[in-house]
């Protein structure tokens, strides 16, 4: 780190910008207008930096050694194609949801006098927490170090717990306590896995793990891998670790639910992907377990969705169900499968967030999220109907939208692999898609087509400040179809680099040299005469 | 170069086991404060595990500080433990806040039932088809309110006997 502004400077920005902005907004809690400007600027800058990273990382991963200590000793941030892509999509999403929540806050400020404050967000706490969440997400995506990934998880866990219990109403405290306990248990499992991995290999650096784990005894390795996957599986809401999700998400304010649905589970999926591709060598037993889990996640999730009568809960169950598609792609353990999974994650972040935002609008306009108390919205709010219809069909995978393309990628690869389990997954995917269509069409029929019950006001409008960001996100989902070719190509290159793992390791350890061989032992052994510069990447004969 | 002996100490390993075991027991309890204690215990157990993973204790890991032949402890494990202690502290505060809020609202800090649990219980009681909105039924309480009132520790306080197991058989619409 010579202080020169080079392209690597971009890498820590997605973590630092929101974190500093969070501090600023907290200090300026008395000035909501200033807070809004800071938040929007910080997230816009983050998104811009991430988009730049997408372009730069296409020619090879960027590595920054935080604090100037080189990789196995210090913590490094690695921006490869996968991280950059995830960062950009989540940045766009975070920005849209922030604008939406501002629209809602402004509108609710107006409505406060008329007694309609059900979802009011205490802005003073909301902004810093939201920005900390963004920083935690970025840290998790960029981390090249298992322990730093854990820290990222904890940052976003703390932030998400605060967002989930905003206002401290009875139902949010109930949902929040379940969420917090489950998340804490997952964190403890993750930390235990880190301790055991450190005991087995003497490192927690992902690139170094990629080099050392193949030499670990296969039985021990299997235990380590399963423990990590268990922790990530809770985060990603993979069945049977998914029961907490549909219970805790729907009670939060609409923008918060949208962020959680779009992002938090995807971080779990991302971590599973990293575990399966970069760190651990391919293990068929684990792949098989993941395939079965993916199948069950899809089917149990979507059957749960079909039985729901509340739009928010229905969507939460489809969220669980569609995690199965991503795990399916990862568990195929082929390049094309991983590529399809990456594309699907991008698609699903945009579409699921858009749907939750639109449902927030439906609740605003219709006064409820229960399908029995909604109706006639197609006539009363045609634009809103369109905004719901497009991402709903996208979620179900109607051609030519991005959901269809992602599913085609997964199914093609499933058929090509052709094992009995892969075929079962193919059949399960098709069934899940049809049931998704059934679930969203049911929501559509009841909320938009059935005769409006008397509770639904015939007059009224949806604030434009909320409509526009939701519309932008829907449009973004459609854009994914337009740019599907290049995007899919990018996902394929990201998958190829992940499966191979060499470029990742080489970026972290230039020259392909594992500088930290036996690091933990060496530290213990070299006592006085060790020069830090030597460890931090000084030259060796 | 002297290499530290890496065989873990049995006392530490036993301590990890005891802490995690009691922690899991507490984590499975209903009140949030006990869950929190369980979390803290397991957290300490896992921290000890990290310590064990770092090898045996040696001289303080400051270059130039140790006598020449004495091996240093592994500083990385200690750095990780410190970080995780701080994180545990922050999360403890968070859970305490939620527990306190829950106590303010309900007079107890038990984790309430899943809303879905309540729905199943209510529908079992009514023997109603699943596609009707359970929240729209005539009891006047939302599922959330009901979930908050039904709790384990004082099962006798259960207002209308609607625990999941005891569905009345003579409710309206009970044709099978």
| Predicted confidence (pLDDT) per residue in A12-38, tens digit | 888 989 999 999 988 888 888 888 888
Give the DSSP H or E segment for B33: helix B32-53
DSSP A163-177: HHTGGG-HHHHHHHH
- State how far the Cα of A136 lies from the Cα of A231, in Å rounded to an integer: 17
> For chains A and B, what is the number of CB pairs under 8 angstroms?
160
Cβ-based neighbours of B128, under 8 Å, separated by 6 or more: B134, B137, B173
Q: Which two tokens stand for residue B37?
A: 């204690």
Smallest CA–CA distance, residue A174 to chain B, in Å, is 6
- Looking at the predicted structure, is the pLDDT value of residue B44 above 90? yes
- State how far the Cα of A232 lies from the Cα of A190, in Å rounded to an integer: 8
Q: Minimum mean pLDDT among A209-213, A387-391, A497-501: which range?
A: A497-501
A484, A342 in Cβ contact below 8 A? no
| Predicted confidence (pLDDT) per residue in A122-178, tens digit | 557 888 899 999 999 999 999 888 999 999 999 999 999 988 888 777 888 888 888
Cβ contacts of A522 on chain B, cutoff 8 Å? 1
- State how far the Cα of A466 lies from the Cα of A473, in Å rounded to an integer: 11
Q: Which long-range contacts (CB under 8 A, 24 or more apart) does A534-539 make?
A: A535/A69, A535/A70, A535/A73, A536/A65, A536/A68, A536/A69, A536/A70, A536/A73, A536/A74, A537/A70, A537/A71
| Predicted confidence (pLDDT) per residue in A312-366, tens digit | 889 999 999 999 999 999 998 888 899 999 999 999 999 999 999 999 888 888 8
Q: Which long-range contacts (CB under 8 A, 24 or more apart) does B34-39 make?
A: B35/A181, B35/B95, B35/B111, B36/B92, B36/B95, B36/B96, B36/B99, B39/A181, B39/A184, B39/A188, B39/B88, B39/B91, B39/B92, B39/B95
Count of CB atoms situated within 10 Å of the CB of B160: 11
Contact A372 B133 (CB under 8 A): yes
- State how far the Cα of A28 lies from the Cα of A117, in Å rounded to an integer: 24
Instruction: Return phi, psi of residue A400, to 5°.
Output: -100, 30
> Which pLDDT belongs to residue A535?
37
- State how far the Cα of A268 lies from the Cα of A236, in Å rounded to an integer: 4
ipTM above 0.85 for this complex: no
DSSP A477-489: HHHHHHTHHHHHH
Sign (positive/negative) of CA torsion B87, B93, B97, B100?
positive
Residues in chain B: 176
| Predicted confidence (pLDDT) per residue in B149-159, tens digit | 666 554 444 44
Smallest CA–CA distance, residue A309 to chain B, in Å, is 6
Contact B144 A520 (CB under 8 A): no
Count of CB atoms situated within 10 Å of the CB of B50: 26
Residue A454 touches partner B, C-beta closer than 8 Å: no
- State how far the Cα of A262 lies from the Cα of A255, in Å rounded to an integer: 10
A480, A491 in Cβ contact below 8 A? no
For the CA atoms of A453, A457, A460, A465, the dihedral, rounded to the nearest 10 degrees, stands at -70
Produce one character per residue of A478-517: b if its CB has 16 or more CB atoms within 10 Å, e if not: bebbeebeebbebbbbbbebbbebeebbbbbbeeeebbbe
| β-pairing verdict for A75-79 and A62-66 | antiparallel
Count of CB atoms situated within 10 Å of the CB of A472: 17
First-last CA distance in chain A: 23
Residue B38 touches partner A, C-beta closer than 8 Å: no
> Which pLDDT belongs to residue A540?
34
For the CA atoms of A70, A71, A77, A79, the dihedral, rounded to the nearest 10 degrees, stands at 110
In the block, tokens 């392909």 appear at: A512
- Looking at the predicted structure, is the pLDDT value of residue A526 above 60? no
| Predicted confidence (pLDDT) per residue in A282-306, tens digit | 888 889 999 999 999 999 999 989 8
Residue A370 touches partner B, C-beta closer than 8 Å: yes
Which residue in the set A171, A524, A528 is minimally distant from B63, CB to CB?
A: A528
Q: What is the mean pLDDT of chain A?
A: 83
> Which pLDDT belongs to residue A44?
92
CA distances from A347 to A89, A297, A469, B107 (A): 9, 18, 17, 44
Count of CB atoms situated within 10 Å of the CB of B173: 8
Instruction: Return phi, psi of residue B142, to 5°.
Output: -80, 165
- State how far the Cα of B38 lies from the Cα of B46, in Å rounded to an integer: 12
Q: Which two tokens stand for residue A69?
A: 């200590």
Q: Which residue has the higher pLDDT, B28 or B174?
A: B28
Angle at CA of residue B95, ends B90 and B99, nearest 5°: 150
Segment A409-436 mean pLDDT: 91
Contact A196 B131 (CB under 8 A): no
A141, A86 in Cβ contact below 8 A? yes
- State how far the Cα of A212 lies from the Cα of A202, in Å rounded to an integer: 9
In the block, tokens 């960001």 appear at: A469
Residue A168 touches partner B, C-beta closer than 8 Å: yes
Q: Which residue has the higher pLDDT, A413 or A4?
A: A413
| Predicted confidence (pLDDT) per residue in B99-151, tens digit | 898 888 888 778 777 777 777 777 777 765 555 555 555 555 666 766 666 66
Contact B71 A184 (CB under 8 A): no
Query: Percent of chain A scored above 70 by pLDDT?
Result: 90
Smallest CA–CA distance, residue B176 to chain A, in Å, is 20
Residue B138 touches partner A, C-beta closer than 8 Å: no
Q: Which residue has the higher pLDDT, A113 or A44?
A: A44
- State how far the Cα of A207 lies from the Cα of A146, in Å rounded to an integer: 10
Q: Residue A520: pLDDT band by 50, 70, 90 thresholds?
A: very low
Segment A363-375 mean pLDDT: 80
- State how far the Cα of B119 lies from the Cα of B38, in Å rounded to an integer: 29
Chain B contacts in chain A segment 202-231 (CB below 8 A)? 204
Angle at CA of residue A369, ends A367 and A372, nearest 5°: 95
Q: Which two tokens stand for residue A179?
A: 């969420």
Residue B15 touches partner A, C-beta closer than 8 Å: no
Produce one character per residue of A454-469: b if its CB has 16 or more CB atoms within 10 Å, e if not: eebeeeeebbebbbeb
Count of CB atoms situated within 10 Å of the CB of B7: 8
């Amino acid at each position: 780190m010579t202080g020169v502004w080079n392209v690597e400077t971009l890498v820590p920005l997605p973590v630092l910008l929101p974190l500093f902005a969070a501090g600023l907004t907290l200090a300026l809690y008395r000035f909501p207008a200033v807070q809004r400007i800071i938040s929007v600027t910080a997230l816009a800058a983050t998104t811009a930096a991430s988009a730049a990273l997408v372009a730069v990382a296409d020619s090879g991963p960027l590595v920054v050694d935080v604090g100037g200590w080189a990789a196995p000793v210090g913590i490094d941030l690695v921006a490869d194609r996968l991280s950059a892509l995830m960062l950009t999509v989540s940045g766009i999403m975070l920005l849209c949801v922030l604008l939406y929540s501002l629209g809602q806050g402004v509108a609710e400020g107006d409505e406060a006098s008329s007694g309609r404050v059900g979802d009011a967000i205490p802005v003073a706490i909301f902004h810093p927490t939201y920005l900390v969440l963004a920083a935690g997400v970025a840290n998790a995506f960029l981390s090249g170090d298992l322990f730093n990934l854990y820290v990222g998880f904890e940052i976003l866990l703390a932030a998400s717990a605060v967002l989930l219990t905003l206002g401290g109403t009875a139902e949010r405290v109930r949902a929040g306590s379940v969420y917090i306990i489950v998340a804490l248990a997952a964190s403890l499992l993750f930390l235990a896995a880190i301790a055991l991995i450190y005991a087995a290999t003497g490192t927690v650096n992902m690139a170094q793990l990629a080099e050392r784990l193949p030499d670990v005894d296969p039985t021990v390795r299997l235990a380590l891998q399963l423990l990590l996957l268990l922790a990530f599986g809770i985060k990603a809401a993979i069945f049977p670790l998914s029961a907490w999700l549909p219970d805790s998400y729907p009670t939060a304010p609409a923008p918060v639910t949208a962020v959680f649905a779009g992002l938090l589970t995807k971080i779990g999926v991302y971590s599973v992907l990293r575990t399966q591709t970069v760190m651990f060598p391919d293990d068929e037993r684990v792949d098989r377990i993941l395939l079965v889990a993916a199948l069950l996640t899809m089917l149990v999730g979507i059957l749960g969705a079909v039985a729901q009568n509340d739009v928010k809960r229905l969507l939460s169950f489809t969220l669980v169900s569609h995690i199965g598609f991503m795990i399916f792609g990862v568990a195929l353990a082929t390049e094309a499968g991983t590529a399809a999974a990456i594309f699907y994650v991008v698609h699903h972040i945009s579409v699921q967030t858009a749907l939750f935002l639109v449902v927030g609008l439906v609740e605003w306009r219709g006064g409820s999220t229960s399908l029995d108390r909604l109706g006639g919205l197609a006539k009363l709010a045609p634009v809103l109907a369109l905004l719901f219809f497009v991402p709903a069909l996208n979620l179900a995978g109607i051609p030519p939208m991005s959901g269809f393309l992602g599913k085609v990628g997964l199914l093609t690869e499933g058929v090509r692999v052709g094992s009995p389990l892969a075929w079962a997954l193919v059949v399960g995917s098709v069934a899940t898609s049809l049931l998704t269509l059934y679930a969203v069409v049911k929501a559509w029929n009841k909320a938009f087509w059935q005769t409006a019950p008397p509770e639904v006001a015939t007059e009224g409008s949806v604030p434009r400040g909320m409509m526009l960001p939701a519309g932008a996100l829907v449009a973004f989902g459609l854009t994914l179809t337009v740019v599907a070719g290049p995007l899919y190509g990018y996902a394929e290159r990201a998958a190829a680099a992940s499966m191979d793992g060499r470029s990742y390791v080489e970026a972290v350890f230039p020259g392909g040299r594992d500088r930290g061989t036996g690091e933990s032992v060496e530290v213990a052994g070299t006592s006085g005469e060790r020069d830090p510069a030597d460890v931090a990447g000084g030259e060796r004969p | 170069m002297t290499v530290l002996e890496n065989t873990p100490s049995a006392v530490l390993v036993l301590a990890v086991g005891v802490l995690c075991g009691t922690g899991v027991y507490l984590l499975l309890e209903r009140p949030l404060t006990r869950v929190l204690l369980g979390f803290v215990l397991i957290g300490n157990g896992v921290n000890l595990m990290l310590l064990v993973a770092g090898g045996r204790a040696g001289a303080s890991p400051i270059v130039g500080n140790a006598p020449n032949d004495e091996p240093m402890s592994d500083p990385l494990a200690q750095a990780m433990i410190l970080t995780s202690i701080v994180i545990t502290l922050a999360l403890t505060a968070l859970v305490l806040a939620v527990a306190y809020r829950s106590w303010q609202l309900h007079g107890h800090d038990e984790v309430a039932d899943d809303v879905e649990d309540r729905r199943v219980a209510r529908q079992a009681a009514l023997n109603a088809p699943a596609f009707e909105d359970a929240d729209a039924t005539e009891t006047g309480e939302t599922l959330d309110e009901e979930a908050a009132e039904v709790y384990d520790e004082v099962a006798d306080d259960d207002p209308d006997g609607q625990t999941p197991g005891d569905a009345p058989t003579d409710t309206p619409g009970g044709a099978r």
